[in-house]
C-alpha cells in the first residue's frame, strides 16, 4: 500500500464520495428500483447494534429486520423490545429467527440480504467472512479486527466481496460526515500544500465498567466486560482512536511505514480494567518523512479532546466530529470554514448511502480495505507501545500472533487469565514483549 502515491490512493478511495471506492457499477440485485423489501439481519444486539439498526430503518428504503443474533439472550431481548416500540411495522422477527450463542450469527445471516455486524470487534473477521461467503451486503462497525491475522482475513474477504460486487460499509462515520468530506477534498486539492505534520486526539474519561458476578465463567465475564480485553476490543487505541487515526491516513492519502510510542496502565488499574492501557502516545511516520502525532487516554477529571489538526506547506486545518472544519493559509488567514447547519448525521448517512446503492442495484462501497488498514495502524500503535519498539509496517503485517481463544464456549478459557489476586497481565515495555510481536 505504501508504494501507492497520493493520486493513486485518492482514486482508490474516492475522496469526494467519502466511503465510495468506485463509481456506481451495476450489480445483479433482487431490489428493483426499491420496490422490494430489503431484509436485514442484526448480528450483535448491544447499544451500538441497536443504534445501527435504527439508522438502517431510517435510511429511507423499504427495509425490514428479519433476524437478530447475539451471544446473550438478555442483549437480544432488550434490543428487540426497544426496536419494537417504534418500528414494529418494520420488524418481522419471530422467535424462530432470534438466535442466541456463539454460532447464532450463521443462522441469522442466512435469513437476510444485508447483514449489520456490531458485536465486539474480535468477532468481526469471522462474521464478515461468513456474510460474504453467503453473498450478503454488509455494514460492519469499526474496528474490523483486533490482531494482525484478523486483518489479513478481512483483506482476503474484502477481495472476495469485490469479486462478488457486494457493498461493504465500515462504521468510520467521519468518512460520511460533511465537514470532513469538504475539508479533506480541499486538502487533497492542495489548499494547504503538502501535509508535513499532524496531531490527532481521543482523550476522554473512559467508558463503562461491568464488575464480575459470582456465577460467571471466565469467558462470560470477559465477554460482558469486553472493552478491557484485547481479544475482544483491541485496546482503546484500536477501538476508539481508530477514528482519528483513520483521518490521518485519509488526509495523508497513505499509511505509515513505521510507528513508535509509549503508553501504560497508569490510573485505571485493578481487577476491573483487565489488560488494556489507559494512555497511548504514538508517532506515525509516513514514507515522505512526515510525522503525525497521536494521543489517546482514559483519565477521569482531566481535559478531554477529540479532534484532528494538520499542518501543510501552505497552511493548516482543524477538524472535529462536532461538524467543525477550518482551513488557514500560511499567514493565518482563514480560507475556508464549514457551515454545520443542516448537515446530516454521519451515523445515519452511512446507512442512507449504503441502502440506496443496494436498492438501486449498484455496487459502490468497498470500505473494508481502508477500514482494515486504519485498524492495522492502531494495532501496530498498540504493539509499539506495549513493546517499546519501533514497529515497521511491512514487518508487522507478517505477524502470526493470534490472540483469539482456541474455541468459543462458555466453559472455554480465553488466553488472558487472572492471577491469584484477580489481576490480569499487563504489557510492560522491554520485559514481556515476546508475547506481542
Residue with the three cell numbers 448525521:
345
Q: How many CB atoms lie within 10 A of CB 32?
A: 10
Pairwise CA distance, residues 434 & 437, whole Å: 6
Residue 199 pairs with which residues in a beta bridge?
293, 309
Pairwise CA distance, residues 385 & 403, whole Å: 17
Length of the chain: 437
Residue 115 pairs with which residues in a beta bridge?
41, 138
Indicate the burial class of 233 (C-beta count within 10 angstroms; 0-12, 13-18, 19 or more): buried
| Mean pLDDT, rounded, for 273-277 | 97
Predicted confidence (pLDDT) per residue in 308-365, tens digit: 999 999 999 999 999 999 999 999 999 999 998 889 999 999 999 999 999 999 999 9
Question: Residue 358: which residues within 8 A CB-CB, separation 6 or more?
Answer: 29, 31, 38, 61, 113, 114, 137, 167
> 50-82 burial by CB neighbour count: b if 16+ within 10 A, else e?
bbbbbbbbbbebebbbbbbbbbbeebbebbbee
Nearest to 241 by CA among 162, 329, 142: 142
pLDDT on residue 25: 66
Predicted confidence (pLDDT) per residue in 126-163, tens digit: 999 999 999 999 999 999 999 999 999 999 999 999 99
Predicted confidence (pLDDT) per residue in 290-314, tens digit: 999 999 999 999 999 999 999 999 9
Pairwise CA distance, residues 168 & 128, whole Å: 10
pLDDT on residue 435: 64
Number of H helices, E strands in the chain: 13, 17
Percentage of the chain modeled with pLDDT above 90? 89
Predicted confidence (pLDDT) per residue in 369-393, tens digit: 999 999 999 999 999 999 999 999 9
Instruction: Give DSSP secondary structure letters for 317-384.
Output: EEEETTTEEEEEETTS-EEEE---TTPPPHHHHHHHHHHHHHHTTEEEEBTHHHHHHHHHHHHHHHHH
Give the angle 213-218-221 at the CA atoms, nearest 5°.
Answer: 45
| Contact status, residue 418 vs residue 271, Cβ threshold 8 Å | yes
Q: What is the CA radius of gyration of the chain?
A: 21
Pairwise CA distance, residues 232 & 229, whole Å: 6
pTM of the predicted structure, to 2 decimals: 0.93
Confidence of residue 22 (pLDDT cuts 50, 70, 90): low
Distances (CA, A) of 261 to 123, 295, 334, 391: 27, 10, 33, 9
pLDDT at 82 over 70: yes
C-alpha cell at 248: 490521518
Looking only at the bridges linking them, the beta strands covering 258-264 and 137-140 are unpaired
Pairwise CA distance, residues 336 & 183, whole Å: 8
| Contact status, residue 364 vs residue 167, Cβ threshold 8 Å | yes
Pairwise CA distance, residues 400 & 368, whole Å: 21
ω before 143 within 30° of 0 (cis)?
yes
Pairwise CA distance, residues 18 & 225, whole Å: 33
Confidence of residue 431 (pLDDT cuts 50, 70, 90): confident
pLDDT on residue 2: 40
- Domains, the chain, ordered by start: 38-174+361-366 (3.40.50.720), 188-340+373-435 (3.30.360.10)
Amino acid at each position: 500500500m505504501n508504494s501507492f502515491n497520493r493520486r493513486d490512493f485518492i482514486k482508490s478511495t474516492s475522496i469526494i464520495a467519502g466511503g465510495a471506492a468506485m463509481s456506481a457499477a451495476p450489480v445483479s440485485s433482487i431490489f428493483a428500483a426499491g420496490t422490494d423489501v430489503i431484509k436485514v439481519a442484526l448480528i450483535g444486539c448491544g447499544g451500538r447494534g441497536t443504534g445501527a439498526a435504527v439508522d438502517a430503518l431510517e435510511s429511507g428504503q423499504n427495509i425490514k429486520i428479519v433476524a437478530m443474533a447475539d451471544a446473550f439472550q438478555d442483549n437480544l431481548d432488550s434490543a428487540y423490545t426497544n426496536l419494537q416500540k417504534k418500528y414494529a411495522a418494520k420488524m418481522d422477527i419471530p422467535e424462530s429467527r432470534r438466535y442466541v450463542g456463539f454460532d447464532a450469527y450463521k443462522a441469522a445471516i442466512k435469513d437476510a440480504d444485508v447483514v449489520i455486524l456490531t458485536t465486539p470487534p474480535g468477532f468481526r473477521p469471522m462474521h464478515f467472512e461468513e456474510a460474504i461467503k453467503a453473498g450478503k451486503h454488509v455494514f460492519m462497525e469499526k474496528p474490523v479486527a483486533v490482531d494482525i491475522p484478523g486483518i489479513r482475513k478481512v483483506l482476503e474477504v474484502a477481495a472476495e466481496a469485490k469479486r462478488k460486487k457486494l457493498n461493504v460499509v465500515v462504521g468510520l462515520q467521519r468518512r460520511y460526515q460533511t465537514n470532513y468530506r469538504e475539508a479533506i477534498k480541499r486538502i487533497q486539492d492542495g489548499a494547504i500544500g503538502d501535509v508535513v505534520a499532524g496531531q490527532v486526539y481521543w482523550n476522554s474519561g473512559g467508558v463503562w465498567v461491568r464488575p464480575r458476578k459470582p456465577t460467571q465463567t471466565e469467558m462470560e465475564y470477559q465477554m460482558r466486560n469486553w472493552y478491557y480485553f484485547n481479544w475482544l476490543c483491541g485496546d482503546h487505541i484500536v477501538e476508539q482512536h481508530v477514528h482519528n487515526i483513520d483521518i490521518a491516513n485519509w488526509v495523508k492519502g497513505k499509511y505509515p511505514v513505521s510507528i513508535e510510542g509509549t503508553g501504560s496502565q497508569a490510573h485505571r488499574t485493578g481487577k476491573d480494567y483487565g489488560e488494556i492501557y489507559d494512555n497511548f502516545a504514538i508517532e506515525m511516520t509516513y514514507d515522505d518523512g512526515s510525522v503525525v502525532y497521536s494521543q489517546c487516554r482514559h483519565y477521569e477529571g482531566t481535559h478531554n479532546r477529540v479532534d484532528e489538526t494538520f499542518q501543510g506547506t501552505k497552511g493548516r486545518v482543524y477538524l472535529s466530529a462536532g461538524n467543525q472544519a477550518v482551513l488557514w493559509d500560511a499567514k493565518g488567514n482563514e480560507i475556508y470554514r464549514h457551515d454545520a447547519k443542516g448537515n446530516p448525521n454521519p451515523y445515519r448517512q452511512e446507512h442512507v448511502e449504503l441502502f440506496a446503492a443496494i436498492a438501486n442495484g449498484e455496487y459502490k462501497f468497498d470500505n473494508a480495505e481502508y477500514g482494515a488498514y486504519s485498524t492495522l495502524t492502531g494495532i501496530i500503535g498498540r504493539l509499539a507501545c506495549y513493546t517499546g519498539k519501533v514497529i515497521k509496517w511491512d514487518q508487522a503485517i507478517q505477524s502470526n500472533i493470534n490472540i483469539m481463544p482456541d474455541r468459543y464456549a462458555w466453559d472455554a478459557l480465553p488466553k488472558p487469565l487472572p492471577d491469584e489476586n484477580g489481576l490480569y497481565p499487563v504489557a510492560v515495555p522491554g520485559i514481556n514483549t515476546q508475547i506481542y510481536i
